[in-house]
Amino acid sequence: MKAEALKKRLDKNRPMTTITIRIPEDVIEDLKRIAPLLGFSGYQPLMRAYIGQGLRSDMERLEGDNISALIASLKRHGVSDEVIHEALTEVTQK
């Protein structure tokens, strides 16, 4: 994730939207019990944290897979490892 996008994600004043989701009652009770033990003010911030962690993990995995596929394709087309490394270094330093 680029630095600017990460800064936006860390902004506590980001716009929020209200949703409705059906979750089993026992899961909500567990969240309410665990939230203060993990330092959360309530179960909803804990749920947002869980969703954010899972989302970031999947985004990293999926975006990483795309990069790996691109690198493999470039190699099949005869692009040298040195050129690929230079290009990756260039785009990750921005």
pLDDT in tens, 36-69: 999 999 999 999 999 988 988 888 778 777 777 8
- Percent share of the chain, pLDDT over 70: 86
Cα–Cα distance, 21 to 1 (Å, whole number): 28
The three-class DSSP label of residue 60 is: helix
Cα–Cα distance, 93 to 18 (Å, whole number): 37
Q: Considering Cα of 69, then 70, then 75, then 77, what sign does the dihedral take?
A: positive
Grade residue 9 by pLDDT with cuts at 50, 70 and 90: low
- For residues 34 and 56, the model is more confident at 34
Q: Measuring CA to CA, how many Å separate 13 from each of 7, 22, 60, 82, 93?
A: 12, 26, 24, 43, 28
